[in-house]
Structure 1
Amino acid sequence: MDVDHFVSENIRQACLDALNKYEIEKIYFDQTLLNLALERKWAELHPAWNWQWAIVRPLFEVFIDVQIVHFVAYAKPWSDPKGSLPIRYREIARRFFSVHYPHLVEKIGSPASRLQKRKILARLIKHIMRSFTFVDGFNRHGGDITKVVLPE
């Protein structure tokens, strides 16, 4: 975030104005408020720079050179009680924590001991249902992770 621009453009006040303008129950998170305050004043980065693991179809990850993974749901590499994340994310967290927070390493979960057919089927259906939206967003960048798409 460009902090100087944030201050000079008085984005804080724009957020407060948006908060007052829109019904509070429609504003779920800070990102929603920023989206409302900065409508058409932001650019879209390639999904590789904000790979939302639980929301963006995990099965698409094999097609993309993911740069930054954003764990937006309950499962985090350091706190995944259901063992739903890929092992590689937990292992990266384990290596990081063992150097910087050794007392927390034991809290990093293990992979699921069994696969559950219904959960796999549910995830596949969810993946298929969201595929078209994802593909449209991905294709706006033409496969170029350095391309920024300006609002229309």
Structure 2
Amino acid sequence: MDNPSSTMRKALVYTVDERERAIALFSAWKVATVAKPRDFDILICSFEPLAIPAHLSALGIRNVVFDLHDKISAENLPQIWLPLITYLRLWLPDALRLRYDRLLYLDADTYLVSPDLSHLFEVDLGPHVLAAALDKMQWENPNRPILDFAAQGMNVRRYLNAGVCLFDVEGYNARNLLGQMLEIHRAGAKLQHHDQSLINLATKGHWAELSPRWNWQWTSRFPGLTERADPLLHHFGGAPKPWDAARRPTNFSGPIVEEYATFLSLEDSIHRFETNHYGGLRPSIPAQIKGLVDSALAYRHFRKLMKRHTDAFETRL
């Protein structure tokens, strides 16, 4: 690993390979241009060197290469739909322990809206070593049984989404959270969501809960509720993605689709697309009506979800 040159003690991190490089660069570009002031590094973490265009390097976006591929591969972690590089995030608090105090991990398919991202690094973690938001499967049904916990005989109700995850580096390492996750895997645990499952099984619901506005996972499904929620950070988990909008109808806003189209058209990316439709393809009228009905049915769950946090930087401990 080449040590980052700045003296900042906080870092925003992505873990991607070449396939997701351009998508991560878009997310990082949004952060670099929207977050103000910015007192954290932006690192694209990988096993192999990844090209960072000069105009993005000038914004402080850097690639950091970790020689951990063989070590992580030797753990035989499940990769049914998850590339090995994603697991690198579990090793980063140890690999960067001498350099940073807090790490904020973002999935590549995230889109920053708020300029106040720097303050997210400072939220109260209480006695916990990480912070995250509830996974969207608990947004509509908070009491939904979690298969990962049920398979282990655990009576745990909170299940985090690991697409946005804030780590306290010292605490993470002191509690040997990585070691606990690897032991869970080696013991043969059935993992519904791979590394996200490992984080949830190791923490057992003991984590600081972020406002869903910092990991908004309903952008495509419920655009009306999304507008009401006023997200600070979108997370385009699942399918479709904004860069699919030229090939299939989506509910993503026109400006978001156009930003991706413009950025990816300038990158040597497998995700590059051009659209003849401003804002991408829109759902049919029947699909739009169904979406409105679904949003109405989900509204009471939405209200309960949003009431869990009175302030954007409040955490539930």
Shorter-chain TM-score category?
0.7 to 0.9
**Pairs within 5 Å for 1:111-122:** 111-112=280-281, 115-122=283-290
Gaps of 5+ in 2: 1-165
CA 65–116 in structure 1, closer or farther in 2 if over 3 Å, else same: closer
Deviation at 1:120, TM superposition (A): 1.5
Gaps of 5+ in 1: none
**1:9 and 2:179 correspond:** no
Aligned residue identity for 1:123: G
1:77 and 1:108 in contact (8 A); partners too: no
**1:139 and 2:307 correspond:** yes
Q: Residue 121 of structure 2 corresponds to which residue in structure 1?
A: none
3-state secondary structure, aligned to 2:239:
coil
Q: Residue 83 of structure 1 corresponds to which residue in structure 2?
A: 249
Give, in whole Å, the separation in 1 of the partners of 2:233 and 2:184.
29
Deviates more, 1:33-42 or 1:44-53: 33-42
CA 64–89 in structure 1, closer or farther in 2 if over 3 Å, else same: same
**Pairs within 5 Å for 1:1-152:** 1-2=166-167, 3-19=169-185, 24=190, 27-54=192-219, 57-80=222-245, 81-84=247-250, 85-99=252-266, 101=267, 107-109=273-275, 110=277, 111-112=280-281, 115-142=283-310, 144-150=311-317
Deviation at 1:105, TM superposition (A): 7.9
Q: Is the strand fraction higher in 1 or 2?
A: 2
Query: What is the identity percentage for the equivalent residue pairs of Structure 1 and Structure 2?
Result: 24
CA RMSD, 1 decimal: 2.9
Give, in whole Å, the separation in 2 of the partners of 1:145 and 1:27.
30
Deviation at 1:8, TM superposition (A): 2.7
CA 104–91 in structure 1, closer or farther in 2 if over 3 Å, else same: farther
3-state secondary structure, aligned to 2:243:
coil
TM-score, normalised by the number of residues in structure 2 = 0.40
- For residues 2-38 of structure 1, what are the alpha-carbon distances to aligned partners after superposition, in whole Å with 9 as ceiling and x for unaligned? 24433332212222344466851x5224223312221
How many positions carry a matched residue from both structures?
146
- For residues 57-79 of structure 1, what are the alpha-carbon distances to aligned partners after superposition, in whole Å with 9 as ceiling and x for unaligned? 32122223321110012122223
3-state secondary structure, aligned to 1:138:
helix
Deviation at 1:48, TM superposition (A): 1.1
Give, in whole Å, the separation in 1 of the partners of 2:184 and 2:269.
43
CA 136–8 in structure 1, closer or farther in 2 if over 3 Å, else same: same
3-state secondary structure, aligned to 1:59:
helix
Give, in whole Å, the separation in 1 of the partners of 2:185 and 2:305.
28
Deviation at 1:41, TM superposition (A): 1.7
Deviation at 1:106, TM superposition (A): 5.2
Give, in whole Å, the separation in 2 of the partners of 1:27 and 1:76.
22
